[in-house]
Structure formats: C-alpha cells, structure tokens
A and B are shown apart, each in its own frame.
Chain A
Amino acid sequence: MTDPTTERSPKARFDSLSGSVDERLYSQMTLIRQFEERLLQLFEGGELFGTTHCCIGQEADAVGILNHLDERDIVFSNHRCHGHFLVYGDRPELLMAEMMGKAGGLVGGRGGSQHICYHGFHSNGVQGGIVPNAVGMAMAEKLKGTGGMAVVFLGDGTLGQGVVYEALNLASLWSAPVLFVIEDNQWAQSTPVEKELAGDMVARGRAFGIRSGEITSTDASEIYAHFADIVASVRETGRPRFEVVHTYRLCHHSKSDDKRPREQVEARRVGDPVPLLARRLDPSVVARLDAEAGRRVTEAEEHARSLPFPDPSTLEDSLVSAR
C-alpha cells in the first residue's frame, strides 16, 4: 500500500505522480476536499464523535507548501491539520480510522482529529505551543546535521499568543531552519481578524530579523511556485522564514458553528481553490481525478469501519515510546 521511497517524502511522492503540476496538485486537493466532506457527512449521520476542523477553502496551502518537503523534514500542524496530513502522508485510511477512534488509526484513537503523528508529521490542538516545539525540532536537525527543516502552521488568531513571539525570537537568534506559515483565513473561530489583531502580520516576522513575506492567493500552482524558493532558502541558509498566506475558510470553524455573514462567505466562493484549478484542466482529467479520490475516500471509510475499537487493556501501553 505504501511505497517506502515516498512514504516520508512528500516531494518524492509528488514527483512520482503522473500528469502536469496542476493535475497533480488537483488530485491532492480533490482528495482533501472529498475526505473532509465525507467527514462532515459522517458527523451529520451521528457516526463520528467529538469535533473536527476542516480546511475547506484552504486546501491550496497544504498542497502548495508541503510538496516541497522531503524525508528529512518535519511538519507541525494545528487543529486544522487534515489537509496538511493528507499531503504529507497520503494515508486517508489512517486518518479516517483515527477520526473514528479506531485501533489502527494514526495514534490508535488517542488523539483524534487534532492530535496526530505520522513519521515527521505532528499536530496539537493547543494554539501557540507547537511553534517553539517546531523551532526546537529544527534546531535538533541542525545540531545533528541532517539537513532537515521544519514547517509550522499557525492561524491569524494564533498570532495573539505570546509564545509565538518567543519562538520567533529564538528561531532568529539561533538560526533555526524553520518556516513559519501563517494561514490567514481572516477568522479565528467566531472572531474576525479586525477584532483580534492589531498592526501588520508580515511586520511581526520582520521585527525579529526574519525574512518575511506574504501571498494573497487560493491558487494552488501559484502557492506551489511561491513556496519553492522559500523552502529552498530555509534549507540553504539555515535561517527561518515567515510567510503569510491570505486565504479564506469556506466551512465552519468546527462543525455547524458558522455565524459569519452569509454574504461574506458566498462572495469568497469565487476563490474556492478546487474549482479554480479545475477550470484550467481538461474536464475529463478532472472527472477521472475526482472519481479516483472519491474511491480512495470510500476505501478509507470502509477500511476504518472494518477496524476494531481500541481495547482499554492497552491504556497503559506507550507510557514510554517503543523506539
């Protein structure tokens, strides 16, 4: 099921796919979209338990950024991590099993939607604290001399956390090879950006002497091209970069909790990254990629359903790692 040469390397996997860059980016985005739409259906049907944060509308960030990483690299994501994981790991069945709380899920049902781990990929649902963790991981790779780097994702709202600035300062002081990606979707839960954030986002990174920039786009190819140089420069210089992606969330924050003005959300649908890219592709290719992704999501669901729930007798397992 998995190819050992591409299992840990999004870049190698992306390079091994057939088709144009646009087609390959599209194949990943349609997988993320259909996966999350299936999740929401399963929640509505009462088949999933707890909560989840979908990235519908923001898929272009995941595919545009993470396909540049290789097997040496580390990702730290947050609560909105499905898209990031699916690009990094390409294992929808493991994530689906985790969502269903099954043994054999990414972390055996212990973490659920926002606390997952797979090779160099990690996520945690507490806003802010992952940012110094990612800096430390990048520092470790640097001290070990592996050539690896880290990417950490944070939202506009998480720019409110003080520890983020401690981490930026440390990353710059110590030259950690880490890329801070700010996914500015204009909202933090129910709070619009103008009520949560004063001043300039990009200037925050610059203030620490970190090369910082921004892109306003939901176009996956544009983001993919934009981040090629950024990832390469983190690796070459061993210095951090700080990059803001201005985007928009087209779904609820978690589930059925969207109180944003309807007109605003509807107006942003023109930027929906999935149809945006589909329009540039041959419709028959789009149909094929959609069908393929749909089939994978169905297989993931069936696989997850077939797994048992974890046995409470395993609760004391993994108090220390198996490594």
Chain B
Amino acid sequence: MSRLDESERELNVLGSLNGALHSILGDDDRVVVLGEDLLDPYGGAFKVTRGLSDAYPDRVLTTPISEAGFTGVAVGMAMRGLRPVVEIMFGDFLMLAADQLLNHASKYTWMYEGKVDVPLVVRTPMGGRRGYGPTHSQSIEKHFIGMPGLVVVAPSVFHDPGALLRTAVVDDDRPVLFVENKLMYARPLRRIQGGRVGDMAARVDDARYPTVTLSYDDFRDADVTLVAYGGMAELAARAAERLLLDDEVVCEIVLPSSLNPLDLTPVRQSLARSGRLVVCEEAAPIASWGSEMIARVSAEAFDLLEAAPVKVAARNLPIANTRDLERAILPQESDIVAAVTRAIGSHTTPVHLAG
C-alpha cells in the first residue's frame, strides 16, 4: 500500500497529515523526513508517514533510536537549506531531544544575528486515553512553550491539520514543534463550511496558525468561554453541546493552533461576550499552558472577567495504564461540564479542577 486511500485521507486527521506529507515531499525537494521505523511497509508507529518511503526513498530516512542525534542532524540540515521534518515516535521521548531544541534549534537564528535559518519541523504524537501507560501517554508540550525561538503548533479536528503542517514545513523558517494528539488521528475532520460546523457558527482568524472560535449563539452572547487545543477541542465541543441541551448554558469555544506564540485576541473577543473563562488541557496541571493562559488573561484582560478563571487539566500524577485509573487521571467531558458550572456559580474564588 503506498498511500492511505482517498476516503480515509478526506475524512480523518491521520489522512490529512499523511496527504500533506506526500504533497510536500512531492512539491519541494528540500524536504527530508527522518524518524524511527518510518519505512514502508511499516510506515511509522502511527502511520502518519505511510507510503512516503516508497514514493521518496532518498528523502525518507529511518533512524536509529537516537532522538537527540537525529534531531541534531535535522537541525544541521535545516541550517544548510533543507527543510527537515522529524518524527519523534511518542511525544514522551521529546525530552531526549530537548537540548537540541533549547540550545541549538531555537538559538541559532537569533544568536547568529540572522545569519542562518533553522526551518525544522519536529512532529510528534502526544496524549493518552489509549492505555499506553505512564511513559507513552503524556502531553508534555507545556515544557516547550516557554522557549524563545521555538514555535509550538497543535492542530485540532476543527483546523485543517495537513494545511497547518504544510505551513510549518514550507512557509515557516523558524523551528516548529508540531503536536499531534494521538487520539485525534482516527477522528474525522470537522470542516468549517460557510462559517458553520455542525450546529455551531465558526470563525477562523487570519493568523498563520489560525485560531478557530465556535459559538452556539452566532456570536451574539455566551455564558462561558472554553479555551482548548489539540485533543481537548472535541471534548470541549461535546461538553458545550451537553451544557446547551441540559442546562441552556451557552459556551463559546476558542481553539488556538499556535500555543507559542500565543495571540490573546480571539480569547479577549470571546470574553467580552462571556466574562467567564474555562481553560481545558490534557497535560498535568502545574506550570502548564493553561496556567499561562489564565495568568495572561488575568493580567491583560482582567476587566473582562466576571468570575475567577477555572482550569481543567489532568491530575498531578503519572498516567496509569489501566482504563479506570487512566480515566480518573485525565480530564473528561464531565470535568469540563463541572468546571463550567463552577465558573458560572463562582464570582471570586479561584478554582482548580482536576479530572
């Protein structure tokens, strides 16, 4: 099999990403793909790279188990005019390449006063809910969002993941960490058409990595703004639907795809209508992306807040293997519903809700 079949590619996140890689490799011979177990017929642990090595054998390189080494090689390739795409098999292994991102890729352009580019993309699956246990289920992108010079992008089903990946590889000369929630691979894309997706009105800003905002009330009014990214996007949308049907609570959902840099504008616009903020993420709760979001909204948009912000995140624990424990650790739809209820009921007390 050389490619995912057409219908699959149309429908789900995996197909969108795989199709994008095929077309990027076809369009631009500076693109090189590196990572563990990428070669066909295996085609990568999550099959995002399926068919690539059959089609482009010279530019798809399977690597030894050397995350620091091959990420470092890709950094060097990027500095000399190639556009490498690195796959880290599980996001949990990204720490092995952290020095390459922190002290090499994210430094060179600025440190050398613009004498080199590092147009590198490191893509990796993150997240749990698949029973892979403590070291194969984490969402550790939060450790990488505070690095000046490193862009962190995370698509959701409401974005076009393939288009975002193409932008990162072809149009962005900065190093990009591209985070793919692994549960999302099999999920169908929720395409925005005519300003709507399902029962929701949808707005997409014109940022390079756009923020999608969804509303159940045509952006007229809202009780709560839910901010989420990646795999939490669908969970937030499902919670919002339940809140509307069961409790007549109107949520707006703001879904940034650029975690760093972070543009607060769409969040502010929604808060102007709702006055209440609930931030949803799958990561462990301490010093997280949600913490940053709440800190910035509190500092920069305090006047818009009518209630204390609420954060939904994982419990501050490793992620267990067995299903009931994993479920108790990771944030669920019901946690978002509860957080929204708290936000509506609360006026002054900061609340931290864990799953």
A107→B113 contact, CB < 8 A: yes
| Interchain CA distance A295-B84 in the complex, whole Å | 46
Interface residues of A in 54-98 (CB under 8 A from B): 74
Instruction: Tell me if A312 is interfacial: C-beta within 8 Å of chain B.
Output: no
Given A136-B74, A141-B80, A170-B70: 10 more A-B contacts, CB < 8 Å: A107-B115, A122-B108, A124-B103, A132-B68, A132-B70, A132-B75, A137-B77, A144-B81, A169-B64, A173-B64
| Interchain CA distance A110-B116 in the complex, whole Å | 14
Neighbour of A132 across the interface among B73, B81, B103, CB < 8 A: B73
Neighbour of B116 across the interface among A135, A150, A321, CB < 8 A: A321
**Cross-chain pairs A/B with CB under 8 angstroms, 29 sampled:** A107-B112, A108-B113, A110-B111, A117-B111, A117-B112, A122-B79, A126-B104, A129-B72, A129-B103, A130-B104, A132-B69, A133-B75, A134-B76, A136-B74, A137-B76, A137-B80, A140-B81, A143-B82, A144-B80, A144-B81, A166-B69, A167-B72, A170-B64, A170-B70, A173-B64, A319-B109, A320-B109, A321-B173, A323-B114
Instruction: Tell me if A115 is interfacial: C-beta within 8 Å of chain B.
Output: yes
A111→B111 contact, CB < 8 A: yes
Instruction: Tell me if A250 is interfacial: C-beta within 8 Å of chain B.
Output: no
What's the least CB distance linking B168 to chain A, in Å? Answer: 14
CB-CB under 8 A for A167 and B73, given A74-B80, A126-B103: yes
- Partner-B contacts on A (CB < 8 A): 74, 107-108, 110-111, 115-118, 122, 124, 126, 129-141, 143-144, 150, 162-163, 166-167, 169-170, 173-174, 317-323
| Interchain CA distance A321-B172 in the complex, whole Å | 11
Neighbour of B76 across the interface among A115, A135, A318, A321, CB < 8 A: A135
- Partner-A contacts on B (CB < 8 A): 32, 58-59, 61, 63-64, 66, 68-82, 84, 99-100, 103-104, 107-117, 149, 173-174
| Interchain CA distance A321-B76 in the complex, whole Å | 15
What's the least CB distance linking A313 to chain B, in Å? Answer: 15
Closest A residue to B76 by beta carbon equals A136
In the complex, chain A residues whose CB is within 8 Å of the CB of B61: 174
A132→B82 contact, CB < 8 A: no
Closest A residue to B115 by beta carbon equals A117
| Interchain CA distance A169-B65 in the complex, whole Å | 11
In the complex, chain B residues whose CB is within 8 Å of the CB of A323: 114, 116-117
B63→A140 contact, CB < 8 A: no
A170→B63 contact, CB < 8 A: yes
In the complex, chain B residues whose CB is within 8 Å of the CB of A167: 69, 72-73
Neighbour of A135 across the interface among B72, B81, B107, B114, CB < 8 A: B72
| Interchain CA distance A150-B173 in the complex, whole Å | 23
In the complex, chain A residues whose CB is within 8 Å of the CB of B108: 117, 122
| Interchain CA distance A131-B72 in the complex, whole Å | 8
Closest B residue to A134 by beta carbon equals B76
What's the least CB distance linking A62 to chain B, in Å? Answer: 20
B66→A321 contact, CB < 8 A: no
Neighbour of B100 across the interface among A129, A139, A317, A318, CB < 8 A: A129
CB-CB under 8 A for A166 and B81, given A107-B115, A132-B76, A136-B76: no
| Interchain CA distance A207-B16 in the complex, whole Å | 42
Which of B64, B99, B113, B115 gathers the greatest number of chain A CB atoms within 10 Å? B113
A320→B173 contact, CB < 8 A: yes
What's the least CB distance linking A317 to chain B, in Å? Answer: 7
A111→B112 contact, CB < 8 A: yes
| Interchain CA distance A228-B129 in the complex, whole Å | 58
In the complex, chain B residues whose CB is within 8 Å of the CB of A107: 111-113, 115
| Interchain CA distance A110-B340 in the complex, whole Å | 47
| Interchain CA distance A150-B110 in the complex, whole Å | 22
Closest B residue to A150 by beta carbon equals B76
What's the least CB distance linking B213 to chain A, in Å? Answer: 27
B100→A132 contact, CB < 8 A: yes
In the complex, chain A residues whose CB is within 8 Å of the CB of B117: 320-321, 323
